Structure 1
Amino acid sequence: MQNYEELFDVTIIGGGPAGLYSAFYSGMREMKTKIIEYQPKLGGKVHVYPEKMIWDVGALTPLTGEQLIQQMVQQALTFEPEVVVNEKITSIEKKNGLFLLTGASGKQHLSKTVILAVGGGILKPIKLEIDGAERFEITNLHYVVQSLEKFKGKDVVICGGGNAAIDWAVELAPITKSLHIVHRRGQFDCHEAQLSKLDQFPLHKHLNTTIKKFVSTIDNTKIQSVILTNNETAEETSIAIDDVIISYGFERELTFIKESPLNIELVNDHFVKGTSKSESNIEGLFAAGDILNFDGKVHLILGAFADAANAVNQAKLYLEPDSPAKARVSSHNSRFDEKNKELRQHLFV
């Protein structure tokens, strides 16, 4: 018995910048569209840095990651695509010329074309290997910094030495009561410019050091202090803290692509090998954003938008070979006539 409900012209896997712009642009091309996202909300990796300022999106003055997400989502929903969140795609196959996507929920999604817009794959933070640490994740153990204000005036430990860890340290140092950076190596693994910024602040650096254990509060719900161990001297240090931030990076899962019976061609076992038109080696299957690899690829959000437009245009031509090669620009596109009338009424009231 089939457990999918309807057939779509294009199904977009991934709700980050590439996926969201694909949804908008496919609406311009009058395609029946579905977007599937693993996380409970749209926005993709930008949710990792909601308070960071973004300067390099064309024609947009500096805005925060959260503001960019809001605008991308609003644009993506312009033509009312079907949106499915909390759905992990576990397999992708092609039967009788149609793509069959199976989710971890057991639901199947049927589509004439597919756009892979999964970025680096499903992102899962690499967690600290201390027994029982997970119980503190709902209180004061953090793997992502969602709000700087949360740490204002507090004693904070950051564990990690890469660019992300040092970025957060630079942001937090001016507002915390005290800041400790713990790194297992003898030097930080970040850009020199970031290290120079770090040296401007009176913070505590613990190199060649790891977190050995957490000491919890009496009710066992929060971390009260951390025990550090110097890997060279075995000396232990106890630090009273309010919050712990772990910045070890992310694991990236692309299982459904790597194990697909379609034999999707990859580069370095991670990126979809494609063309500048966002085509993969499988007819009807396209890619956009960080997952796509081709000569001349631009790894910026604006590059993801260009990939998305190319992917949608190629999907349209795959379905209707006699259709125009690209959508008419929005300033002259009849799809916006009614919407423009409504906007003008508000502008000139």
Structure 2
Amino acid sequence: MAIDTIPRGAYLLRLWDTELVATSASAYPTETSYKDVRTEIHNEATNRGCQIWWIERVPGDEENDGFPDKQKYTITHCGSERGLVKNGQKASVNRLHGRPEEHWNFISEFPQFPLYRTYSIKADSSSSRLTVPTSSAAVGVTLEEARSPRPLQIWELIPPTPSIPTGWIRIRNAATEATLAHKFTHLPPYLVPENVLDTYCSDGNCDKATEWAFVHALLQVYSRCGENGTSNRYLMKNRLTGGLLADRGGEAGLTQVCCWSKTSTEWIEASFANNCIWEVQPITPPHIWEFRNKATRRVLAEIITHDQNQNQNQNQYVSCLDRSEQNPPSSSSWRVDPLDGHILINVVSL
């Protein structure tokens, strides 16, 4: 049985640690011309078909089972049903015919971060790799030799976002099962360890303190095409306090993540609005996700500190870290568990 480095399926090709993804235009079945591949801001809500690619192993490539970097794959653009091809020094899509320029190798990058599927994507018929000339949106994807440093040649494969729950949910850390909670408007959110009594909560509101809802954060009109659209970014609202989860910015610490609450005298400052907006990214669909803050580009994580003398967990708290951060020990994968029943939520707009 073939051992595929890349499991067959649908992915977005996102430039590492940016909001840019590879995309191409739709095409009529009768068209025979090449279509350019370019970058644009990740936005599955309105451009889902154009931003999603189907990756699968080339049949008959069993000889490379033991050589992950040499395994051959086709990358098909779902919006046009055409394959990614090497078109001179450009990356394009065209009808697949089994030619060598349609085959691609995925070279693993950042093996120290196994949570992320990060690769440089090399044309099997040459040594050139998928490259973005600049980190700006709407630029063509090219094929160039390996650079050093080469952040514009590293791509992350991310699964398409599954359906967003429309009711109250619980958010648990995938590694520790600690539950995210918020009890008091003047204090930061906290974590309730698995099978441990919540010492912050001793009344009938305990359940509500651990319940959250996803609310669309950006509702706008795209003037380019004159239609309404939404981005794949959300507010995370606590049921008990009404607070919106936010990353204050600055150094990580116990009070770095907060919840901003609407009161009769205070609302979110305009300059702080993006700190309350989170990009939802599936890690293991459909229930294990990562949340990345729009303003700081950091991910929500559980931080675990240890008692050096007793070698025991001393504290668990929620904070935000750069994706490449490894110290202190942390976990940025979260399990999203919808509650039973169908509970409607109030739409919040900024």
Tell me, yes or no, whether TM beats 0.5. no
* Range class of TM-score, shorter chain: under 0.3
TM-score (ref. length: structure 2): 0.23
Greater strand fraction, Structure 1 or Structure 2: 2
TM-score (ref. length: structure 1): 0.23
- The higher-RCO structure (CA 8 Å, 6+ apart) is 1
Greater helix fraction, Structure 1 or Structure 2: 1
